[in-house]
Structure formats: structure tokens, C-alpha cells
């Protein structure tokens, strides 16, 4: 599911650069990413994946995170990721990082 979403819902942050408001409630996420067939940034694409996982019975937590790939100085925590458990194994599902 993680891989398939990566091929069908791209990372996209155009609304940020265009100064458009971004709404991260489930209705807005579904409208933009599913109905309008657009991509989104971490809170949107991981939010969509979270909705799917929860619908399938996988409880999710959504801690705040930060991208540390570029090294210090580290920025504030402004990234959404999804740690989940499947058959007593911990996994990190993160559809929201464009590399």
C-alpha cells in the first residue's frame, strides 16, 4: 500500500509556494488528493495514508518529527510521520518526504 500510494499520490508542495491555505482535515485531504487527483506535502500524503491504515484497523500515532538529512542546525519539528505496528513489529511509514 505504501509503495502504491507513492506511485499514485505524489509529494507536492505547490500550494505553499502559491500562498494558498492548506487544510489537513480528512475531508479536505480526500478532496484534494483523491477527488482532484493532486499530490500534497507530508501532512496531506501521510494524512491520507493514515486514514487508509486506520480504516483497515491499524491504529496510528502521529508524532511531530523533523528532517535531519541536511544536518545541524536542526529546524523545528514540522514533519508528520506514521509509526505503526504490524504483527508485533514496528514500522515507520512515511509518504511525506520528497528526496
Active-site positions read 42, 79, 94
Task: Read off the C-alpha cell for 57.
Answer: 484497523
Burial class from Cβ neighbours inside 10 Å (0-12, 13-18, 19+) for residue 41 reads buried
Q: Is residue 43 a contact partner of residue 96, using CB atoms and an 8 Å limit?
A: yes
Angstrom CA distances, 54 to 46, 60, 70, 83, 90, stand at 12, 7, 32, 12, 16
Amino acid at each position: 500500500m505504501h509503495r502504491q500510494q507513492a506511485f499514485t499520490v505524489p509529494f507536492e508542495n505547490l500550494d505553499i509556494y502559491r500562498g494558498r491555505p492548506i487544510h489537513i482535515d480528512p475531508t479536505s485531504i480526500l478532496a484534494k488528493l483523491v477527488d482532484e487527483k493532486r499530490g500534497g506535502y507530508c501532512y496531506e500524503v501521510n494524512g491520507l495514508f493514515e486514514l487508509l491504515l486506520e480504516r483497515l484497523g491499524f491504529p496510528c500515532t502521529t508524532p511531530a518529527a523533523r528532517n535531519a538529512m541536511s544536518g545541524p542546525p536542526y529546524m523545528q519539528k514540522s514533519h508528520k510521520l506514521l509509526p505503526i505496528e504490524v504483527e508485533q513489529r514496528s514500522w515507520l511509514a512515511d509518504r511525506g518526504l520528497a528526496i
